[in-house]
Chain A
Amino acid sequence: MRVILPDGETRVMSSGGPLIRDLLEELGINPLEVLVARNGRIVPEEDLAGEEDEIRVIRVVHGG
């Protein structure tokens, strides 16, 4: 799958688990600090992430 990280970096990767939550864990990202769009639509992180999907990770917790 294609993963777009909050800083704009794009990675092509396979996730060890079937869920978006598993992918976030692999990336070391706390799900409480991001929203995730799968193929352009925001989905719960307990939803599935397939090999053909584009996953965009949007950071929503900022400092300040």
Chain B
Amino acid sequence: MRCSICDDAAVARSSRSRKLLCSSHFMEAFEDQVAKTLKAGRMIEDGNRIAVALSGGKDSVVLLYVLKKILAGEAVELFAITIDEGIKGYREDTIGYARRISDELEVELKMRSFRDEFGSDLDRIVVGRDEAPCTFCGVLRKSALNRAARDLGATKLATGHNLDDEAQSVMMNYLRGDIEGLLRLSPKRPLPGLVPRIKPLRHIPEKEVALYGILAGVHPEAPECPYAHSSMRFEIRRMMNGLERDHPGTKGSVLRGFEKILKSAEDRPAATPLSSCRICGEPTFRDLCRACHLLGRSR
């Protein structure tokens, strides 16, 4: 099959344009889409110091690579933060790759760990707990990333969330009936103590992020997280991929519907004002932040 633009061998049909594309036209379309997302969401301004959350997995590696390429010559600073959650037999490889790719791209990398931030590795934290390991990992990593980005003077925190991740998060909040959580997925106003998060890959399907990584030669050969199968997200992912296969465009519809809800809720005051966690001082809408709540800190 041939590229519909230049007649070279096609590598994929674009989910957006529905055109068959060769390697170079696929990469060009991908980069255009990221640039368009950055512009439409006014995600980056001159003088920004952007922290990229770099796990070493494919999404964050592609994010760092594409931002470095797109923002070359712009008046912004780019650096990376890696959080070592402490997952034996899994994080050694991905953290090694995060170090290697940041070296290759000449981007400064700052390391933080659950052990430093919370006194213990994830592997130890989850022993004997009822909640899924992914709940701890997600909440604690988000907290550690925000603290590190703020302490390192970042004005934006970029994460590698793709269309699949976004659609899954929206569905998870719907299924839990957590409308406050849903609205917090994409805060419209800056909140004190929270470094504004940007998601430049949020309109791109996971499969296309992976393909871009392979074509750019930066796709990590990473093992699967040993905790992945225990999460609700794993079930939602499977369900959403089944729906998308049978009804193409479902994930995009979920995201567009969510954006309409956000717009209609724009002027709605928050149910509870943002305050500081009485244990760790991090921003929270409750008395205790979710990280301290999960860790059972109550002094």
Contact = CB atoms under 8 A, between A and B. Distances in A.
A41 B234 contact: no
Contacts of B222: 62
A46 to B, nearest CB: 7
B27 interface: no
Contacts, number: 69
Interface stretch (B44-52, B109-117, B206-214, B287-295): B206-214
Question: Chain B: interface residue count, which band?
Answer: 20 to 34
Question: Chain A: interface residue count, which band?
Answer: 10 to 19
B228 interface: yes
Interface string B50-75: 00000001100000000000000000
A32 interface: yes
A42 B224 contact: no
A61 B57 contact: no
A31 to B, nearest CB: 7
B65 to A, nearest CB: 16
Contacts of B215: 42
Contacts of A42: 11-12, 211, 214-215
A30 B229 CA distance: 17
B270 interface: no
Contact of A46 (B1, B214, B225, B228): B1
A60 to B, nearest CB: 3
The 9 closest A-B pairs by CB, nearest first: A63-B228, A64-B225, A60-B210, A64-B228, A62-B224, A32-B241, A42-B11, A47-B1, A63-B234
